Amino acid sequence: MAVFTPITETDARALLADYTLGELRALRGIPSGIENTNYFLTTSQGEYVLTLFERLTREQLPFYIDLMTHLAEHGIPVPHPQATRDGRRLAELNGKPCTIATLLPGKCEMSPQAAHCEQVGATLARMHLAGRDFPSVQPNLLGLAWWQQTAPVVAPYLDPAAAAMLRDEVDVQTAFAQTDACRALPQGPAHCDLFRDNVLFAGTREAPVLGGFIDFYFAGCDTWLFDLAVCANDWCITHASGAFRPELAQALLGAYARVRPLTDAERASWRTVLRAAALRFWMSRLRDFHLPRPAQTLTPHDPTHFERILRLRRDGDLFPLP
Ligand SMILES: Nc1ncnc2c1ncn2[C@@H]1O[C@H](COP(=O)(O)OP(=O)(O)O)[C@@H](O)[C@H]1O
Ligand SMILES: N[C@@H](CCOP(=O)(O)O)C(=O)O
């Protein structure tokens, strides 16, 4: 249950007094998610999601809130943080920072088909382009520096072969970051966690309509290729093995490239960046599995899934970029 901080109707009414979003009609805790406390909030004017931030600091939060605002105002389907009467998009409730954002239509699709991957690819490329003139910069906080710090912390929980692979991959990524090839990769604000559970679809399974991208709280400035690799490693695979399914990879990557054609530098770096994307989630899952936060009540995701994907990508399981 992802309600770490319970909110009462009285709390919600007091919060709504700072907004011009109408009167409270209903408040319902959202059971999924692992990072924040989320509630569906219905008012006389519409439907919203109230998020209380449990991990991110007040200094870090404006980047995410301003990025979602910028993207929503550029026509990208993402939650639009609402402003208080005095113009703030971050408020406070029960001692925690919070925001009220628009509710997007649809639900997540955990068994995607090519039509879903196509819409994710095209919308991801539109999102990258829309982020080009976003003025704030905050790095992906779970990027290279975090991998370097975290590898010695999680490696002791692995068998010797897996620990050696982890250390080698961090070394490979450290060396790659120093290359001109890496520096040539286009970059900007990136979602960095665009898994199947962070995209909503309305419509039908046969004719899906993308409702939006949610959960921007791992976003940061990174290469756009890293964002695409995170997506490909989750959307375009056979779950049991982690191997690419060509029809899904073709749909995601082809649709992305039709909106933003990929560069030669990106094609040359694809394999290394797919490995980086697998390493990132292997490490965060290892940390959450072996070193859970004190209040963490949810079953952690299986780290071996991304260990398997990393091994496959290192062994050359790829789908070439168009
Ligand atoms: N703006 C939104 N519109 C519709 N549903 C949302 C929205 N934000 C969150 N949700 C719902 O809340 C769930 C948990 O949100 P999420 O941001 O993934 O949580 P966490 O950051 O804790 O992982 C999502 O799976 C989705 O069902
Ligand atoms: N996508 C990550 C976990 C992050 O959880 P989310 O619910 O905030 O998207 C993973 O699969 O390890």
CB 23 within 8 A of CB 42: no
Chain mean pLDDT for the chain? 95
Whether ligand 1 lies within 6 angstroms of the CB of 215 is answered as: yes
The pLDDT of residue 280 is above 70: yes
Residue 148: closest CA among 165, 178, 162, 169 = 169
Nearest ligand to the CA of 31 is 1
Q: Which atom of ligand 2 is nearest to the CA of 34?
A: 7
Which of 52-61, 189-198, 248-257 has the lowest average pLDDT? 52-61
Pocket perturbation via mutation, ligand 2, pick of 53, 54, 55, 197 by most ligand atoms within 8 A of CB? 197
CB 204 within 8 A of CB 114: no
pTM above 0.80, yes or no: yes
Confidence band for 186, pLDDT divided at 50, 70 and 90: very high
Structural element, H or E, at residue 166: helix 160-177
pLDDT tens digits, residue range 21-53? 999 999 999 987 667 899 999 999 999 999 999
Nearest ligand to the CA of 288 is 2
Q: Which atom of ligand 1 is nearest to the CA of 106?
A: 4
The pLDDT of residue 303 is above 80: yes
- Listed in sequence order, the residues at least 6 apart from 49 whose beta carbon sits closer than 8 Å to its beta carbon are 30, 38, 39, 40, 41, 79, 100, 101, 102, 103
Q: How far is CA 137 from the centre of its chain?
A: 17
pLDDT tens digits, residue range 119-170? 999 999 999 999 999 999 999 999 999 999 999 999 999 999 999 999 999 9
First and final CA of the chain: distance in angstroms? 41
Which comes out higher in pLDDT, residue 212 or 59?
A: 212
Tell me the one-letter amino acid at 81: P
Confidence band for 199, pLDDT divided at 50, 70 and 90: very high
CA dist., res. 164 & res. 9, Å (int): 52
Strands (E), 75-228: 91-93, 96-102, 187-190, 199-203, 208-213, 220-223
Q: Give bridge partners of residue 97 from the DSSP assignment.
A: 92
CB 89 within 8 A of CB 100: no
Q: What percent of the chain has pLDDT over 70?
A: 97
CA dist., res. 137 & res. 222, Å (int): 10
Confidence band for 1, pLDDT divided at 50, 70 and 90: very low
Question: Exposed, middle or buried by CB within 10 Å (0-12, 13-18, 19+), for 38?
Answer: buried
Residue 18: closest CA among 80, 92, 79 = 92
Which residue has the least CA distance to atom 20 on ligand 1?
Answer: 33
Q: Give bridge partners of residue 48 from the DSSP assignment.
A: 41, 102
CB 185 within 8 A of CB 266: yes
